[in-house]
Each structure stands twice: as structure tokens, then as C-alpha cells.
Amino acid sequence: MKFKINNNTGSPINYEDEIHNLCGFAQDRLGFQQHPSIFLDHSKVNSEKVLGNTGYYDPGTMEIHVFATGRHPKDILRSI
């Protein structure tokens, strides 16, 4: 089953397959049953900070939010 990816960056993403592969690997390893929703978020203010936030998980809504603006795809995958 595919994970739901919500692209809020305003730019196309070309690494959806890698996100699904990573999440599938994590599910196999960790054994979670419910899929979290993944949000790639835009934040110009956050992207300009050297020590800005990279992302967070909200257990109440089962959402993974990753700030993607100005970041390399492999760095975004590490945050997920």
C-alpha cells in the first residue's frame, strides 16, 4: 500500500518512489500497522535559518511534517 504524500511546497517532487520505499522499509522493520500521512511543507522563514526545524511527527493525527524548502531530497528522506 502506498503512503499518502501531501506536497505543500508548490514545486513538483521527483522522489516519491524513494519516499514510498523508505516508508515501506520502516514499516517492515518497525511493524506499525497504520500508515502516517506525510506532508512536505514550505517555510521560507524556516529555510533561511541555519538551525531551522527539519520536521516533526504529530502522534494525535499520525502525520509526519517535513520542511522541504531549500533542502536536498536525501536530506528530506533522512528527516522522514
Is the CA virtual torsion 29, 38, 50, 71 positive or negative? Answer: positive
Is the CA virtual torsion 31, 25, 38, 51 positive or negative? Answer: positive
pTM: predicted TM-score of the whole model, two decimal places: 0.88
Q: What angle do CA 22, 43, 39 make, to 5 degrees?
A: 30
Using DSSP's 3-state secondary structure scheme, residue 23 falls into: helix
Q: pLDDT tens for the chain, 80 residues: list them.
A: 589 999 999 999 999 999 999 999 999 999 999 999 999 999 888 888 888 889 999 999 999 999 999 899 999 999 99
Residue pair 79/54 in contact (Cβ under 8 Å)? The answer is yes
Residue pair 32/48 in contact (Cβ under 8 Å)? The answer is no
